[in-house]
Amino acid sequence: MTDVTSGVGTITLNRPDSRNALSVEMIRGLATALNEMDASCEVGAIVITGAGGAFCSGGDIKAFHEQGGEGAGAAEIDHAAVEAQRRDQEETVGRIHRCRKPVLASIPGAVAGAGIGLALAADLRIGSPRTLFATGFEAVGLAGDFGVAWLLDRLVGPAKARELIFLNPRVRGEECVALGLVNWMVPEDELEQRTREIAERLASGPSHAIAGMKQNLLWAPHEDLTSSMSAEVPRHKASGLTEDHVAAVKAFVAKEKPTFSTGWHGEAR
């Protein structure tokens, strides 16, 4: 399900009977929604959440069982299936990670397996006391996909990432905050409101500058300091040419709160 209100595009994973396990239809629908919202001038921030009290339980294990396993009982890897999954991952987790606009994952409950990839690819995450992370791959004899190992390694460090992937512990509540899996933990009945407040603040911010900030952050882990600083300069200078910058400087001097222009003007990269 999708909705756009007050500049915030919300994508709700909606298979509550399976804790929003990923079907082919859901993956393709998510990819389409992300692509459309990233391109829309009406959307300044994106929220991804789940229906029915869970975020996403990852792959559909019941479906795997019915078809004889994730590989459908084949003796060799299906190379067409490999390419299809690579495309699906890039259009979902990859799109969330590289999206020009800030993406917020609102995590009401359980998130596991590939669902962790969707959550951790977001720029910011907010949870409640019911939020629970479990990598889940070890429990079903799978190596893992949807970027979970890469994202965990960068968020919690190599040692903790190995613990979470190899041993599959359940991580709950404040431990999620301590590890950096979520940025905020709020009471369950405040999750939707707090998510909306953060998303609307992002959506009403200086869009060109925010797009540049995200590019700076995406570059940082892969470049040395000199290269990162060099890449920052044209983005910084470009944001200095915008009406938002002029208005913000004027408001700062007047000790007033700036009002930024509507519409998303961030440059695609």
CATH number of the domain at 160, please: 3.90.226.10
Q: How far apart are CA 64 and CA 136, in angstroms?
A: 14
- What is the pLDDT at residue 216? 94
Better-predicted residue by pLDDT, 269 or 75: 75
Backbone angle region of 169, left / alpha / beta, with phi > 0 → left and psi within -120 to 50 → alpha? beta
Cβ within 8 Å of residue 98, ≥6 positions away: 218
Based on the fold, state whether residues 187 and 230 are members of the same structural domain. Answer: no
Helix (H), strand (E) counts: the chain: 12, 9
The share of the chain scoring above pLDDT 70, in percent, equals: 92
pTM assigned to the model: 0.91
**What is the average pLDDT value for the chain, to the nearest integer?**
91
Confidence of residue 62 (pLDDT cuts 50, 70, 90): confident
Average of per-residue pLDDT across 227-237: 94
Which of 67-71, 72-76, 174-178, 227-231 shows the lowest mean pLDDT across its residues? 67-71
Q: How far apart are CA 50 and CA 157, in angstroms?
A: 27
Domain region containing 29? 2-203
The answer to whether residue 269 sits within a structural domain is: no
Better-predicted residue by pLDDT, 239 or 75: 239
Instruction: Tally the domains of the chain.
Output: 2
The answer to whether the CB of 156 falls within 8 A of the CB of 179 is yes
Based on the fold, state whether residues 162 and 241 are members of the same structural domain. Answer: no
- What is the pLDDT at residue 70? 61
The answer to whether the CB of 161 falls within 8 A of the CB of 153 is yes
Based on the fold, state whether residues 113 and 159 are members of the same structural domain. Answer: yes
